[in-house]
Chains A and B, each alone.
Chain A
Amino acid sequence: MLNQILRDRVYTLTLTTLLLCLVSAAVFPATFPTFENFRQLLLNLSIDAIVAVGMMLLLIAGVFDLSVGSVVAFAGGLSAHLMVYYDVPVPVAMLMGLGSAVLIGWINGYLIAYQGINPLIQTLAMMGIVRGGALMVAGAGIQNLPYWYNAIGQSKLLGVQMPVWYMGLVVAAFTFLVNRTVFFRRYYYIGGNEQAAELSGIRVRRMKLYAFMLSATLAGVAGLLLTSRLGAALSTLGRGMELRVITAVILGGASLTGGVGKIPGALLGALFMGLVANIMVIARVSGYWQEIILGLILIIAVWIDLALQRRSAGRQGLARKFSNKPSPEGVGVDQ
């Protein structure tokens, strides 16, 4: 029982995060536990968290997408380009930005799911291609975005910036959908055992295509939000975001082999990373250390998980799975 709780990353990460907050509040009572600090912390991670929700879905299905960071820059850049240089109405420009994201997701999904290109290669290539596109549409940066567009990301509700609310909305909606709809439950089966899922009548390829489109759409939403919040579109937006988001999602309980992970884990992973960065800034630790410490945390988290898995497997008498002795199923009982 305890073991099961220990192995649920949503619990352990929530616990660790709370503990970290308490300790920081005790050590930095003047700077850490303030409304202003938390507001800023949440605002900083809101864009990443929205992208992380899509990435979590992909990892549950056993795939991932490295091009999301570039899509953030391209979708934001394209809408800004259209509204500033061509006077396209804001809603139309936004829809076209989102549409471009969906299209990129479709291309990735089609080539990976239907043509069998490896996700790493396909999305790595797409990451470069789309980044090039972002440079074309955003050039040296687009400023003076329309007022109404900037209002989306810059206005506040109850003293908290809108991107934080959008993040909350996305996480809540997807948490509910993934738990309560047949459509999204299928992703666990696909990630758990693709062949068995196919043989249970799940259209694996089609579902994977949808997952890439959905994840890219969320990246597009994040791109619009980010440019609107900054009041400018830059071709460098979202650079390095893909690895940051994958780190957050794995910290949040996903696995590269697929089949596991929960949507709140995406938020928790992003929150935890944001928190560590925040505390280090408050503690005046050099920025270089942030990356080192986050890297170490990721390794330790995955390592602890593997150790727990081994322990429970050993107790259940399945230790032979990890030994080199041939198992009776493995060798010719049937011949």
Chain B
Amino acid sequence: MNPILQLRGISKSFPGVKALEGVDFDLRAGEVHALCGENGAGKSTLMNILTGNLEPDAGQVLLDSLAVEISGPAEASRLGIAIVYQQLSVINTLSVAENIFANRQPRGKLGFIWYSQLYAQTQALLDKLQLRHIRPQSLVGELSPGQRQMVEIAKALAQDPRILILDEPTASITRQETDTLFAIIQQLKDDGKGIVYISHRLNEIFTIADRVTVLKDGRYQTTRPVADVTANDLIRLMVGRDIEFARTASSRTGEPLLTVRNLTGGRFADISFTLHRGEILGLAGLVGAGRTEIARAIFGIDTLISGEVYVHNKLCAIRHPADAVTAGIGYVPEERKTQGVFLNMSVMENVLAADLPAAQTGGWYGIGKARQLAERFRAQLRMATPSVMQRAGLLSGGNQQKAVLARWLLANPDVLIVDEPTHGIDVGAKAEIHTLLRGLAAEGKGILLISSELPELLALADRILVIRQGTLAGELVGDTATEETIMALAANA
């Protein structure tokens, strides 16, 4: 059978990153084709090209063997391609019907919205998807996350696409809802639609997919019928690469700096571990496994349901980041632009944010002292900026991250939590940040490193804790830690 969709030799680069390199992919009518790969393998980039959000640098998209150019989401939807994004795009304050028929509500003769028709059409669609418990008039904000996901899917299907892309559709839904979703996918398959299914969860791929394509570091690995591969094969294809970063020497000691016991929060439960002086402790897991939530709870941003945090063996009641800073904990957040950097403020002010009193002389803040401190860290971290008075927003991502790290070097906490510290940063700056983190550990700090980049974890971490769906799935030390063992624990394969 001829494929309805073919991607040939797709390449796409971003500054400092080759996101895709010569990727091939094809989709037949009536099949579910799974796309899998690690975080950063290029799955989302590929789908963004297919939906016209991104333009490929090279390569061709063919629909029914005809080359097409997809200039934007509107064009993609005209060509019959619909996508359900990982992040929900529904509007909580509007009804289910208004979400599904956003901007194309049925209109009456005078051009006003014809509500009875709108609700009837929505009801028909919901019936077809066997979503009888969702009313067209309900506000989306009142639905469960899973129901919202279903509305999202209904919205994609309302345009009657031939090709449906599902990006991690089960990330936020329950097992039961997953079953409903799979039933819908089966039905769509029988209707002859082509479905691209992106998921980290290997067992889902084996349940629902007909074929699977693996990407690794933006490169095409293979396409096989699901029946011909095992979970271990897939993991080996997804990871197993040349070592990018040399493993660094450990400076771990036996002295505990940070101990957490039975931490339970909204999205994780019963997490216990100890971080020692001089140690880099890695937290591995899939995106959404709860690693960031654990870090946020330790740092006092989110409230804990139960559990204890000890710093230097002393029980600490941390209810606010300020308490954490006082206790000797620092945090470099994952979302650099929204939570880390003060984009409109100078590099100097960014460096001083966590320890403004450092710029005091005799109790008065002085810009001279502040500048001097900032200059010191600019030199130490080799920040590329014409002046420390430059707005941080004008710096590259790597240099912004250095400014955030400098903030904590100045505040000098014993424990530093770094969440995806090299996310979206070019290779050079990445290596510098790695050296910096290792240096901090050697100086006697404890570092909790959250990273989705396995080579980074393997190179830096003395021990690696793997988090799976909010629970501690296992601990890997020394040679037992490999990309394969981490992935096996993280994906429960």
Which residues on A are within 8 Å of B, measured CB to CB? Answer: 179-182, 185-186, 188-189, 192-193, 195-203, 259-260, 316, 318, 326, 328-329, 331-335
A334 touches B54 (CB 8 A): no
Q: How close is B371's CB to chain A, nearest CB, in angstroms?
A: 14
A334 touches B349 (CB 8 A): no
Q: How far apart sit A329 and B333, CA to CA, in the bound complex (Å)?
A: 16
Q: How far apart sit A80 and B423, CA to CA, in the bound complex (Å)?
A: 62
9 more CB-based (< 8 A) A-B contacts, given A193-B343, A195-B338, A334-B452: A185-B356, A192-B349, A196-B333, A197-B353, A199-B333, A199-B339, A318-B393, A331-B53, A335-B287
Q: Can you identify 15 A-B contacts, CB atoms within 8 angstroms?
A: A180-B364, A181-B365, A182-B357, A186-B356, A196-B342, A198-B321, A201-B354, A328-B15, A332-B43, A332-B47, A332-B48, A333-B40, A334-B40, A335-B45, A335-B167
B364 touches A331 (CB 8 A): no
- Looking at the complex, which one of B54, B299, B394 makes contact with A316 (CB distance below 8 Å)? B394
Q: How close is A77's CB to chain B, nearest CB, in angstroms?
A: 38
**For the complex, is B185 an interface residue (Cβ under 8 Å from A)?**
no
A333 touches B354 (CB 8 A): no
A contact patch SS: loop
A189 touches B349 (CB 8 A): yes
B40 touches A335 (CB 8 A): yes
Q: How close is B77's CB to chain A, nearest CB, in angstroms?
A: 17
B365 touches A182 (CB 8 A): yes
A200 touches B301 (CB 8 A): no
Q: How far apart sit A179 and B364, CA to CA, in the bound complex (Å)?
A: 9
Contacts known (A196-B339, A198-B321); A329 close to B349, Cβ less than 8 A: no
B356 touches A334 (CB 8 A): no
B356 touches A331 (CB 8 A): no
From B43, B287, B331, B342, residue with most partner A Cβ within 10 Å: B342
Q: How far apart sit A328 and B340, CA to CA, in the bound complex (Å)?
A: 19
Q: How far apart sit A181 and B357, CA to CA, in the bound complex (Å)?
A: 9
- Looking at the complex, which one of B44, B45, B301, B342 makes contact with A193 (CB distance below 8 Å)? B342
B44 touches A335 (CB 8 A): yes
Please name the residue on chain A nearest to B370 by beta carbon: A185
Q: How close is B357's CB to chain A, nearest CB, in angstroms?
A: 5
Q: How far apart sit A335 and B453, CA to CA, in the bound complex (Å)?
A: 11
What 8 pairs across the A-B complex have the smallest Cβ distances?
Answer: A332-B44, A335-B44, A201-B325, A328-B14, A200-B353, A182-B356, A192-B342, A200-B354
Give the residues in chain A near B338, CB-CB below 8 Å.
193, 195-196
Give the residues in chain B near A333, CB-CB below 8 Å.
14, 17, 19, 40, 45, 424
Give the residues in chain B near A193, CB-CB below 8 Å.
338-339, 341-345
A201 touches B365 (CB 8 A): no
B324 touches A326 (CB 8 A): no
Give the residues in chain A near B267, CB-CB below 8 Å.
none
Please name the residue on chain A nearest to B339 by beta carbon: A195
**For the complex, is B337 an interface residue (Cβ under 8 Å from A)?**
yes
Please name the residue on chain A nearest to B198 by beta carbon: A335
Q: How far apart sit A179 and B15, CA to CA, in the bound complex (Å)?
A: 39
Q: How far apart sit A316 and B321, CA to CA, in the bound complex (Å)?
A: 34
Q: How close is A334's CB to chain B, nearest CB, in angstroms?
A: 6
Q: How close is B93's CB to chain A, nearest CB, in angstroms?
A: 15
Write out, one digit per residue, whether chain B residues 340-376 have a CB within 8 A of any chain A CB (1) or not (0): 1111110001000110110110001111000000000
Give the residues in chain A near B211, CB-CB below 8 Å.
none
Give the residues in chain A near B407, CB-CB below 8 Å.
200
Write out, one digit per residue, whether chain B residues 43-70 have a CB within 8 A of any chain A CB (1) or not (0): 1110110000110000000000000000
Q: How close is B388's CB to chain A, nearest CB, in angstroms?
A: 14
A199 touches B345 (CB 8 A): no
A329 touches B322 (CB 8 A): no
Q: How close is A257's CB to chain B, nearest CB, in angstroms?
A: 9
B344 touches A331 (CB 8 A): no
Q: How close is A209's CB to chain B, nearest CB, in angstroms?
A: 14
From A197, A328, A334, residue with most partner B Cβ within 10 Å: A334
**For the complex, is B320 an interface residue (Cβ under 8 Å from A)?**
yes
Q: How far apart sit A188 and B48, CA to CA, in the bound complex (Å)?
A: 38
Q: How far apart sit A196 and B408, CA to CA, in the bound complex (Å)?
A: 13
Give the residues in chain A near B411, CB-CB below 8 Å.
201
Q: How far apart sit A326 and B14, CA to CA, in the bound complex (Å)?
A: 12
Q: How far apart sit A179 and B356, CA to CA, in the bound complex (Å)?
A: 12
Give the residues in chain B near A197, CB-CB below 8 Å.
342, 353
Give the residues in chain A near B14, CB-CB below 8 Å.
328, 333
Please name the residue on chain A nearest to B345 by beta carbon: A192
B341 touches A196 (CB 8 A): yes
**For the complex, is B39 an interface residue (Cβ under 8 Å from A)?**
yes
B365 touches A259 (CB 8 A): no
A259 touches B53 (CB 8 A): no
Interface residues of B in 286-341 (CB under 8 A from A): 287, 299, 301, 320-322, 324-326, 331, 333, 337-341
Give the residues in chain A near B455, CB-CB below 8 Å.
none
Give the residues in chain B near A182, CB-CB below 8 Å.
356-357, 359-360, 365
Give the residues in chain B near A198, CB-CB below 8 Å.
301, 321
Q: How close is B86's CB to chain A, nearest CB, in angstroms?
A: 8
Give the residues in chain B near A332, CB-CB below 8 Å.
43-45, 47-48
Q: How close is B366's CB to chain A, nearest CB, in angstroms?
A: 7
Contacts known (A189-B345, A259-B345); A331 close to B45, Cβ less than 8 A: yes
Give the residues in chain B near A200, CB-CB below 8 Å.
321, 325, 353-354, 407
A188 touches B424 (CB 8 A): no
Q: How far apart sit A260 and B391, CA to CA, in the bound complex (Å)?
A: 13
Contacts known (A185-B365, A332-B45, A334-B39); A318 close to B356, Cβ less than 8 A: no
